[in-house]
Amino acid sequence: MRLKALAGALAVGIALAGPATAQDGDAAVIGVSIPAATHGWAGGLNFHAQQTIRELEERYDNLDFVLSTASDPGQQVSDIEDMMATRNIDALVVLPFESEPLTGPVQRVKEAGKWVTVVDRGLSQENIEDLYVAGDNTAFGRVAGEFFRERMQGGGKIVVLRGIPTTIDNERVEAFQAAIEGSGIEILGMEHGNWNRDDAFEVMQDFLSRHAEIDAVWAADDDMAVGALEAINQAGRQDQMWVLGGAGMKEMVKRLMDGDTVVPANVTYPPAMISTAIELTALNYVSRAPVSGRFIIGSVLITPENAESFYFPDSPF
């Protein structure tokens, strides 16, 4: 899902008066800083970022892009500092690896007079960015919690795998807990699986060793769901519980289509949001369209009944 009017402006090539860098014939330089493709969702993120940058550079002579991918917060900070020092970027599109370590560096970019677009993982201080593009993390947690509440009307015991410690992880978990409040569902434990298959596998192994009875797992991310499912299968307990992930990984959607009872649903959270963020930032330099503010992409429940509409076999994620 994208902001169709603005994306349409890009598609038809509107080139009205913009900032001085674009007006005077000098290319506006847009830096894009994102996490490396260390797991499936991030792989999709990288794919869509590269594709969008390639398309925009082909379309506009007055736009240049600098793309960096980081495997940890320290590297991402260095990448952004290098963009400022050596490329003199006019704008920064950043998906923070973690919120806290990136807040100061991104604030310095803003204080230098640059346009800042923050994607997905909010900074730990509000009102730094000009534009914020993200999935609806509150809805992501709420939709998941409502599914648990509906499916476990008699209550039950569950475990929760959280993501990397960030504002979006907090938003998801808080909304999930609010949605199941008073339902009789008991959370036996919550641990960070860091949106990583291997980490989730280890966390789930620990949960399985400590709890003889688990009725369901909220993995809060499809990569973590894959790791959790592997741990459950190795323990031979796949008939005892079901798993809800999230983000719409094609393998998970296919399991829904095939009627896999261990994976009864999913919740959308598209990595293509990076394309929306880059395109909206580019509009700031090629049109008069207002692009500052917040653009939130909704989360919906994927079920066996509608799974085919969310299945894209050629997608990297």
In whole angstroms, give the CA distance from residue 277 to residue 216: 35
- If pLDDT is split at 50, 70 and 90, which confidence band does 2 have? very low
The mean of the pLDDT values for the chain is 91
Query: Domains (ranges, CATH) in the chain?
Result: 4-135+270-296 (3.40.50.2300), 137-269+306-310 (3.40.50.2300)
228 phi and psi angles, rounded to 5 deg = -65, -45
User: CA torsion 167→227→175→311, rounded to 10°?
Assistant: 100
- The string over 166-192, giving b where at least 16 C-beta atoms fall within 10 Å of a residue's C-beta and e elsewhere, is bbbbbbbbebbeebbeebebeeeebbb
pLDDT per position as a tens digit, 98-151? 889 999 999 999 999 999 999 998 899 999 999 999 999 999 999 999 999 999
- 75-92 tens-digit pLDDT: 999 999 999 999 999 999
Tokens matching residue 290: 């207002």
